């Protein structure tokens, strides 16, 4: 609904998004990373994996391996229309684990139980894998996991903090998948969806030895005052001495010679591609950072201020494109619906109101922003005026975590559908 005050800004943003997504396309990333020398000496080659990019990663891996592939299991949030001859796709849950997630974990454990030191296990890991694939200890039920994940998602915890807790409640996370595959050689091909690209955090680090402890998990729970809202079985398990002993023994296992992890795509790769695309459109462009985190509405204000600081440019200057990457969090206080990118955009809209040469846009590279069909949103200096014309209060929408309503009414949502990749979020600031 917002009247575009800058010619072509929607097309410009679409070009930037397309370039960013193409740069982190999972199949292409796998083809760059997986070489014949990686598997030529293996007696058998197994493929396992989990995450939003799992289908594309698995298809590329199967193409490269050809008849060298023995079999595989990959957990994904949405099953492909066409299956695979040797790789079984299992529909897991996201953002919460489901029975499918546990079924995938059990099947994967059974597959890996028969590996030898002459085998190779290729693990395809991407964002969303933490919920898609799970194998909890016997003491922890699916309902326990769902309640814990729900509490973590609503409290404002970072992805790193959530995964610290998840890893302690799993037999696959925190290096557990590598442990099950031992003594086979493990090659992890990892597409990062976390700020900083820490391998122990991406999908809760199934091929990376646990770096946290039960005490660290309990610290996260205390920090966000979650003890009363979590199942008693979870709290009891985290306090149990047997769990702590199991983790200590596991973390000292000598996996260094049998596990290799390769980071094959990241937020920075996507951001740099967007900058290159902006240059081709005639913008002066730069990647500001790829590590922004924090409460979404605060980050939105910060991004708007930075963009506005660059809004006064000589008439002869080229337009400017600023790009930043990262992942924000939302502390849910209201009853509305939205996502972190939409909340960032709403907060930014309130800061740039009335300006006539600034556009701000945010989007989730996986195409899914919270429990909505949108990936993000676009705002200009006219957004607030348009909202008021519809009788919308931006302040009330923000207070009620109702950013999706705000942008639905204005018709300023970005709808991409699931993109098949996931490398966090990107924010664009355009100054014309």
Is 300 a domain residue?
Answer: yes
Nearest to 376 by CA among 340, 322, 350, 405: 340
Do residues 69 and 202 both lie within one domain? yes
Paired residues of 285 in beta bridges: 321
Cross-sheet strand order for the sheet of 425-431: 284-295, 320-329, 425-431, 358-364, 376-380, 413-414
Q: Which residues lie below 8 Å from residue 304, measured CB to CB, with a gap of 6+?
A: 347, 348, 350, 351, 352, 360
Is 321 a domain residue?
Answer: yes
pLDDT computed for residue 256 by the predictor? 54
Do residues 70 and 142 both lie within one domain? yes
- Of 247, 265, 283, the one marking the end of a domain is 265
CA 32 to centroid of chain Cα atoms: 21
Neighbours of 81 (CB within 10 A): 6
Give the CATH number for residue 322: 3.40.1480.10
The C-alpha atoms of residue 294 and residue 296 are separated, in whole angstroms, by 6
Q: What is the pTM of this model?
A: 0.84
Is 1 a domain residue?
Answer: no
The C-alpha atoms of residue 66 and residue 49 are separated, in whole angstroms, by 18
Do residues 235 and 327 both lie within one domain? no
Is 2 a domain residue?
Answer: no
Whether residue 183 has a cis bond before it, omega within 30° of 0: yes
Is 3 a domain residue?
Answer: no
Do residues 250 and 127 both lie within one domain? yes
Is 271 a domain residue?
Answer: yes
306-309: long-range contacts at Cβ-Cβ below 8 A with a sequence spacing of 24 or more?
306/429, 307/348, 307/352, 307/358, 307/360, 307/429, 307/431, 308/351, 308/352, 308/355, 308/358
Do residues 275 and 258 both lie within one domain? no
Alpha-carbon dihedral 172, 61, 188, 291, rounded to 10 degrees: -100
Model confidence pLDDT, tens digit, residues 372-413? 999 999 999 999 999 999 999 999 999 999 999 999 999 999
For residues 88 and 326, the answer to whether their CB atoms sit within 8 Å is: no
- Of 241, 265, 289, the one marking the end of a domain is 265
Do residues 322 and 343 both lie within one domain? yes
Model confidence pLDDT, tens digit, residues 306-316? 999 999 999 89
The residue whose two tokens read 């996502």 is 339
Nearest to 109 by CA among 93, 118, 121: 121
Print the domain residue range for 383.
Answer: 9-21+267-431
Q: What is the per-residue DSSP string for 386-408?
A: HHHHTT--HHHHHHTT-HHHHHH
Do residues 259 and 293 both lie within one domain? no
pLDDT computed for residue 70 by the predictor? 98
Do residues 231 and 135 both lie within one domain? yes
- How many domains is the chain built from? 2
- Of 200, 235, 265, the one marking the end of a domain is 265
Burial of 174 (0-12, 13-18, 19+ CB in 10 A): buried
Is 106 a domain residue?
Answer: yes
pLDDT computed for residue 6 by the predictor? 60
CA gyration radius, the chain: 22
Give the distance between the most distant pair of CA atoms in the chain.
69
Is 4 a domain residue?
Answer: no
Angstrom CA distances, 191 to 13, 347, 400, stand at 24, 30, 34
Q: Give me the residues of the chain with pLDDT under 50, please.
A: 1-5, 242-254
Do residues 196 and 280 both lie within one domain? no
The C-alpha atoms of residue 106 and residue 157 are separated, in whole angstroms, by 28
Q: Which residues lie below 8 Å from residue 411, measured CB to CB, with a gap of 6+?
A: 1, 2
Do residues 224 and 112 both lie within one domain? yes
Do residues 280 and 173 both lie within one domain? no
Give the CATH number for residue 70: 3.40.50.10180
pLDDT computed for residue 245 by the predictor? 42
pLDDT computed for residue 210 by the predictor? 77
Do residues 316 and 330 both lie within one domain? yes
pLDDT computed for residue 205 by the predictor? 93
């Amino acid at each position: 609904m917002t009247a575009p005050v800058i010619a072509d800004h929607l097309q410009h943003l679409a070009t930037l998004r397309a370039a960013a997504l193409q740069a982190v396309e999972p199949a292409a990333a796998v083809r760059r990373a997986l070489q014949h020398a990686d598997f030529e000496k293996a007696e058998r080659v197994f493929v396992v994996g989990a995450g939003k990019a799992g289908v594309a990663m698995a298809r590329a891996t199967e193409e490269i391996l050809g008849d060298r592939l023995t079999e595989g299991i990959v957990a994904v949030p949405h099953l492909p229309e066409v299956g695979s001859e040797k790789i079984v796709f299992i529909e897991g849950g996201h953002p919460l684990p489901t029975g499918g997630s546990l079924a995938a974990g059990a099947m994967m454990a059974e597959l890996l139980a028969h590996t030898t030191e002459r085998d190779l296990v290729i693990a395809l890991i991407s964002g969303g894998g933490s919920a898609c694939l799970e194998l909890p200890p016997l003491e922890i039920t699916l309902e326990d996991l769902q309640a814990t994940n729900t509490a973590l998602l609503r409290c404002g915890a970072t992805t790193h903090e959530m995964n610290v807790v998840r890893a302690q409640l799993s037999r696959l996370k925190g290096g557990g998948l590598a442990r099950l595959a031992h003594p086979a050689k493990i090659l992890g091909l990892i597409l990062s969806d976390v700020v900083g690209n820490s391998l122990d955090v991406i999908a809760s680090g199934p091929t990376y030895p646990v770096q946290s402890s039960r005490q660290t998990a309990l610290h996260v729970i205390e920090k966000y005052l979650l003890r009363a809202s979590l199942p008693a079985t979870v709290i009891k398990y985290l306090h149990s001495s047997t769990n702590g002993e199991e983790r200590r023994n596991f973390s000292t296992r000598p996996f260094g010679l049998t596990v290799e992890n390769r980071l094959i795509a990241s937020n920075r790769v996507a951001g740099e591609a967007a900058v290159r695309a902006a240059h081709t459109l005639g913008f002066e462009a730069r990647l500001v950072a790829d590590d922004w985190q924090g409460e979404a509405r605060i980050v939105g204000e910060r991004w708007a201020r930075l963009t506005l600081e660059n809004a006064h440019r000589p008439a002869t200057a080229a337009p400017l494109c600023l790009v930043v990457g990262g992942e924000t969090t939302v502390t849910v206080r209201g009853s509305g619906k939205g996502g972190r990118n939409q909340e960032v955009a709403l907060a930014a809209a309130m800061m740039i109101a009335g300006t006539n040469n600034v556009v701000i846009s945010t989007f989730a590279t996986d195409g899914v922003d919270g429990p909505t069909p949108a990936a993000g949103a676009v705002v200009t200096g006219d957004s607030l005026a348009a909202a008021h014309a519809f009788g919308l209060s931006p302040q009330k929408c923000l207070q009620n975590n109702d950013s999706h309503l705000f942008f639905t009414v204005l018709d300023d949502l970005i709808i991409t559908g699931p993109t098949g990749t996931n490398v966090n979020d990107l924010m664009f600031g355009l100054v014309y």
